[in-house]
Amino acid sequence: MVQEVFDAYSFVFEEELLEEISTVGIIKEFKENERIIEIGDHVTSMPLLISGAIKILREDQDGDELLLYFLERGDTCAMTLSCCLGHTKSEIRAVAELPTKLIMIPIEKMEEWTSKYKSWMNFVFESYHTRLSEMLDTIDTIAFLNMDERLLKYLRDKAKINQNELVQITHQQIAYDLHTSRVVISRLLKKLELKGTIALNRNSIKVIDL
Amino acid sequence: MVQEVFDAYSFVFEEELLEEISTVGIIKEFKENERIIEIGDHVTSMPLLISGAIKILREDQDGDELLLYFLERGDTCAMTLSCCLGHTKSEIRAVAELPTKLIMIPIEKMEEWTSKYKSWMNFVFESYHTRLSEMLDTIDTIAFLNMDERLLKYLRDKAKINQNELVQITHQQIAYDLHTSRVVISRLLKKLELKGTIALNRNSIKVIDL
DNA sequence: CTTATACAGTAACATTGGTTACACACCTAA
DNA sequence: TTAGGTGTGTAACCAATGTTACTGTATAAG
């Protein structure tokens, strides 16, 4: 039994399944900002997040990006899951937001466990549910909020994921994630700084009162 | 056996399950533009679409709306499905786009059939997969397209759903669906008319060459 | 027929966000 | 120390979209 698997998933799966996961799963580690999967990649196994955090992005033909949501410990990528079951290619891009540890489950096990373990089935359904909600939230954000509000939400999420009020990031990277331009982000950040909401520094933003 | 259920789902489910669906399901009919479900409604059964079409909308606190996607014959609402399984309230609003016939399945059957019928399980997974893809498409649309492109896409979808090149709709209704203002839609529609893409009339738009 | 209402056309203007251009500060490698 | 690259600040401008206001016309209700 892999201790980390136990730590992250013991409240979700029974002993026997945890054992199976530890046996057939392959642990993979990613450095911060390392690419985990690209759009169009063939999906051959399903990742369970053990530690760290992952950023899920959508990309259009022109290479324009948009941050969809973050995944944390105990999450799985419902997109990938969906791809596994449908045997289709990845529709999203995933990048490690922090140093991240995953355990990869071969697709074959998916179907086997779905009938064998009720807890697995519930996990799969639960994941779909969470992901759909998260997608709705993403849609709300881009449909109903202005850029300044989106930026605030972004900084909040970012600070939460990194468990740090000092967010290490460049304006350009924020612009990519929110699908806008660097100048726009610099402009809005400056406004926030003047209001005392944040403090700006080269390569980092200190969150004071979001 | 209900003939319409057979017609719509015989290529998805086996005879025995079709029989069960016909027995426990309750047929409901909705007139065009009739509300099917509102945000916050408690979900107690899962709808399978037999005929017609449904418009799925998201709504924010201020009552601002946004069209998410359409459902057609053979579809189910993965959102509702998700709510059933999670025993949560509806996160979306559904309105009949055409005269629509549904068969409602009590939640209890969900779990039972999931273990009993492989075809049912596949249908559930397939529905989630389709819905996630549809949501991604929606996100692409609002994130990467300008209003004129979104309007074109809207008219295309609308014409397809109604199987008619003459779309019965007001500018105001389009504005609600795309979450913009009537004036903006009128402006863009006029441009399209001048280009010969559509022909405008009171309460209807004739699609010429999208 | 008359009136009220809903729908559509359009101008003028405001706001948001995107673009271009350039200055300057910080950092690293030579 | 200097040169080059990267990150940030800011102005000026432009384009897209949203807002307000007013027009006229079709349609339905009385």
Protein residues in reach of strand C (CB < 7 A) = A 146-148, 179-181, 183-184, 202; B 170-172, 182-183, 186-187, 189-190, 200, 202-204
The pLDDT confidence band at residue A210, using thresholds 50, 70 and 90, is confident
What is residue B83's predicted lDDT score, i.e. its pLDDT? 73
Nearest to B67 by CA among B77, B75, B56, B52: B56
In this predicted structure, the answer to whether residue B87 has a pLDDT above a threshold of 80 is no
Give strand letter and number of the nucleotide nearest A202 (CA to C1'): D7
**Is the Cα torsion angle A14, A16, A18, A24 positive or negative in sign?**
negative
Q: Are residues B37 and B126 in the same domain?
A: yes
B43-56 pLDDT per residue, tens: 889 999 999 999 99
Which of B129, B140, B146 would best serve as a mutation to test chain A binding (most A beta carbons within 10 A)?
A: B129
Whether residue A135 and residue B140 make contact (CB cut-off 8 A), yes or no, is: no
The pLDDT confidence band at residue A79, using thresholds 50, 70 and 90, is confident
Given a contact cutoff of 8 angstroms between Cβ atoms, the answer to whether B135 and B68 are in contact is yes
Q: Are residues B52 and B109 in the same domain?
A: yes
B146 vs A: CB within 8 A: no
Mean pLDDT, rounded, for B57-74:
93
Residues of chain A in contact with residue B138, where contact means CB-CB under 8 angstroms, are 139
What is residue B186's predicted lDDT score, i.e. its pLDDT? 98
Per-residue b or e along A83-118, where b marks 16 or more CB atoms closer than 10 Å to that residue's CB: bbbbeeebbbbbbbbbebbbbebeeebbeebbeebe
Rounded CA gap, A79 and A89, in Å?
10
The pLDDT confidence band at residue B59, using thresholds 50, 70 and 90, is very high
In this predicted structure, the answer to whether residue B84 has a pLDDT above a threshold of 80 is no
Q: Are residues B49 and B130 in the same domain?
A: yes
Mean pLDDT, rounded, for A186-202:
95
A58 vs B: CB within 8 A: yes
Percent of chain A predicted with pLDDT > 70 = 100
Range of the domain at B128: 2-143
B66 vs A: CB within 8 A: yes
From the centroid of its chain, how far is CA A47? 12
Rounded CA gap, B140 and B157, in Å?
15
Nearest to A128 among B82, B88, B140 (CB): B82
Beta carbons within 8 Å of A112's beta carbon, 6+ residues apart? none
Q: Are residues B138 and B173 in the same domain?
A: no
Boundary (domain end) residue, out of B91, B114, B143: B143
Query: Residue length, chain A?
Result: 210
Q: Any idea what DSSP says for residue A205? A: E
Give the strand pairing for A26-30 and A65-72: unpaired
Boundary (domain end) residue, out of B90, B119, B143: B143
Q: Are residues A136 and A170 in the same domain?
A: no
Domain count, chain A: 2
Rounded CA gap, A163 and A156, in Å?
10
| CATH code for the domain in which residue B76 is found | 2.60.120.10
Whether residue A82 and residue B129 make contact (CB cut-off 8 A), yes or no, is: yes
Residues of chain B in contact with residue A121, where contact means CB-CB under 8 angstroms, are 114
**Distance of B175 CA from C27 C1′ (whole Å):** 51
A28-56 pLDDT per residue, tens: 999 999 999 999 999 889 999 999 999 99
Q: Are residues A57 and A97 in the same domain?
A: yes
Hey, what are B30's tokens?
A: 């909705």
Q: Are residues A150 and A63 in the same domain?
A: no
B151-196 pLDDT per residue, tens: 999 999 999 999 988 999 999 999 999 999 999 999 999 999 999 9
A43 vs B: CB within 8 A: no
Residues of chain A in contact with residue B133, where contact means CB-CB under 8 angstroms, are 82, 91
By CB neighbour count within 10 A (0-12 exposed, 13-18 middle, 19+ buried), where does A2 fall?
middle
What is residue A14's predicted lDDT score, i.e. its pLDDT? 95
The pLDDT confidence band at residue B74, using thresholds 50, 70 and 90, is confident
Q: Are residues B179 and B82 in the same domain?
A: no
A96-154 pLDDT per residue, tens: 999 999 999 999 998 899 989 999 999 998 999 999 999 999 999 999 999 999 999 99
Biggest CA-to-CA distance, chain B:
58
Q: Are residues A33 and A76 in the same domain?
A: yes
What is the C-alpha end-to-end distance of chain A, expressed in Å?
42
DSSP code string of B135-157: HHHHHHHHHH--HHHHHHHHHHH
Boundary (domain end) residue, out of A118, A143, A168: A143
Answer yes or no: is B26 CB < 7 A from strand D: no
As a whole number, the mean pLDDT across chain A is 93
In chain A, whose CA is at the least distance from the CA of B110? A125
| CATH code for the domain in which residue A194 is found | 1.10.10.10
Q: Are residues A52 and A126 in the same domain?
A: yes
Three-state SS for B21-60 is HHHHCEEEEECCCCEEECCCCECCEEEEEEECEEEEEEEC
Answer yes or no: is A33 CB < 7 A from strand D: no
Q: Are residues B121 and B56 in the same domain?
A: yes
Q: Are residues A139 and A159 in the same domain?
A: no
Given a contact cutoff of 8 angstroms between Cβ atoms, the answer to whether A145 and B105 are in contact is no
What is residue B192's predicted lDDT score, i.e. its pLDDT? 96
**Counting one residue from A and one from B, how many pairs have CB atoms under 8 Å apart?**
86
Q: What is the CA radius of gyration of chain B?
A: 18
In this predicted structure, the answer to whether residue B101 has a pLDDT above a threshold of 90 is yes
